[in-house]
Amino acid sequence: MRRGWGSRARTAVLAGVAVPVLAAFAGCGDAPTPQRLKLTSEVTETVRRPDRPVKAPVRIAVAPVISPRESFRLYTPLLDYLAERLDRPVEFLQRPTYSEINDLVRNGHADVAFVCDYAYILGQRDFGMQILVVPQVMGRVTYHSLLIVPAESQARSLDDLRRKTFAFSDPLSSSGWLYPAYLLARRGERPETYFARTVFTYSHDNTVRAVADRLVDGGAVDSLVYEFMVLQSPELGRRLKVIGKSPPWGNPPVVVHPRIDPSLREQLRQVFLEMDRDPKAKRILADLAIDRFVSLDEGYYRDVRTMAARVKNLP
C-alpha cells in the first residue's frame, strides 16, 4: 500500500470476469454462450487522512479491449493519477463484455468509461452516451481493423477464409466484429454461414494469441492492440500475417453519461487534456502507448455508423 498522499481511495472490481475457452467454438449468429473460466476477485487500496471527509468516488469502467488482468495492470496507474488530481476516491470497474460496460454507464453505475467506438455509437443511440475525450496514439487519432492469420497460412484475403475458423473479439467491437461482418454483408453473406466456425474471445489480445497459436484460421483485431503487442513481442509478430485492413476511423473514446454532474465532467475533461503536460502523467500515458488525450469531432465515427447500418444493428 502506498502512503503519503492526501486523501485517496482506489477500488478495483473484477465482477464475474470470464475468459472464454477458445476450443469451445460457437456460431456468432446464435447468441453464443462459450464455456468460460470464471476469474472473480476484488482488490481495494485506501489511503485517507482522518481530518478530511470522504468524498464520493468517481467510478471508471474499462471495456475488455484487452484481457481483464492486463487491463488492471495497465490502467491502475492512470486511475491512481486521476484520483490524485481529482482529490477523491476512484473505483476501477471491469466486466466481461462491452455490452455490460455500456449498461454500467446507462444505469448510472459508472461515471466514466473507456469503450469501443461501436459501443459508443450504440450507447449514444440508446441513452445519449457522450464523448469526453479521445486518446491520440503514435500521433494518430484514428485506427483500423486488421484481419490476421498465422504467418504460415496461405490465405491472402478474407476470400480465402471461407469455411475456415475465425475469431471475433466482442459483438460490440467495430474492429473485432463489425468490420468483417460489414465486408460480408456487402457480399450478401453472414459470418455464421460464411465461416465454418466462429468464436468470441472477448478481448483483442486473446484474439491475437488465438491466431498466433493456430487455434483459429483467422481473426479480426484492433490495430492499436496488435501494434502494441507486436512492439512488446517481435517474436509474436513473426507468427502472424495481416491480410486485410479497414479504412481509418476515430480511436475508441472515453465517454460519460449525459446526466453526469457538469462540474465533474469539466474537471475530468481538463485533467485528461492536461496529462501530457505533466511529466509524471506522461510516463503513465507512455506505458499505455498514448501520446495524449484530445477533443475529437463526431465525424471521425461516420464510417462506423455506416457499417452498423449496413449490418442492420442500427435503424
- Concatenated DSSP letters of 29-89: TS-----EEEEEEEEEEEE--TTSPPPPPEEEEE--SS-HHHHHHHHHHHHHHHHHHHTS-
* Residue 132 and residue 259 in one domain: yes
135 and 272 housed in the same domain: yes
Q: How far is CA 250 from the centre of its chain?
A: 13
Q: Mark the ranges of the chain whose per-residue pLDDT is less than 70.
A: 1-53, 313-315
Question: What pLDDT sits at residue 52?
Answer: 58
pLDDT at 315: 35
Position 282: which residue type? K
The whole-number pLDDT of residue 18 equals 35
Count of beta carbons in the 10 Å neighbourhood of residue 77: 16
Same domain, 135 and 261: yes
CB contact set of 277 (below 8 Å; sequence gap of 6+): none
> What is the pLDDT, as a whole number, of residue 68?
76
**pLDDT score at 244:** 98
Asked if residue 3 belongs to a domain, the reply is: no
Give the chain's domain count: 2
Query: Of the residues 201, 224, 249, which one is the last residue of a structural domain?
Result: 249
Q: Tell me what pLDDT residue 41 has.
A: 34
The model's pTM is 0.79
At 244, which CATH number?
A: 3.40.190.10
pLDDT for position 167: 98
- End-of-domain residue from the set 231, 249, 267: 249
Residue 302: per-residue pLDDT: 95
> What pairs with residue 91 in β-bridges?
11, 59
Q: Say yes or no: 231 and 256 in one domain.
A: no
pLDDT value of position 307: 95
Does a structural domain hold residue 93? yes
* Res 53: pLDDT: 62
Q: Provide the domain limits for residue 172.
A: 142-249
